[in-house]
Amino acid sequence: MPPTNTILAQIADNPLLFDALKALFLKQFDITGTVTRTDTNEVLGQQLRFCLEGREKVEAAFREIAQYKTKPSTPITTNQAR
């Protein structure tokens, strides 16, 4: 099994995968699917807080994953002055 850092780097280096996973996880905290007409203000507040906290945690996780993105290597060039 590859190390976790390698897997996170693969996710960070693939923008399509990164964006698709982020959208999928953020969709799980969408408030529109959890609200019903019979919910009280107290229940609505709890659901809204849950969704907002969940979305913030997903955003934080993906900011952390983005740090694993490999930096492109710069070719070593010879000094023209020498």
pLDDT digits (tens, 9 = 90+) for 7-46: 999 999 999 999 999 999 999 988 877 667 778 889 888 8
pLDDT grade for 66, boundaries at 50, 70 and 90: very high
Report residue 52's pLDDT band, with 50, 70 and 90 as the boundaries: very high
In a domain, 76, yes or no: no
Q: What is the DSSP string of 13-81?
A: H-HHHHHHHHHHHHHTT-GGGT--TT--HHHHHHHHHHHHHHHHHHHHHHHHHHTTPPPPPPPP---TT
Instruction: Identify whether 51 is part of a domain.
Output: yes
CA dist., res. 74 & res. 76, Å (int): 6
In a domain, 71, yes or no: no
Q: Which residue has the tokens 């698709």?
A: 20
Does residue 79 sit within a domain? no
| Domain interval for residue 33 | 4-66
Can you give the pLDDT at residue 1?
63
pLDDT at 27: 92
Q: Is residue 21 part of a domain?
A: yes
Structural domain count, the chain: 1
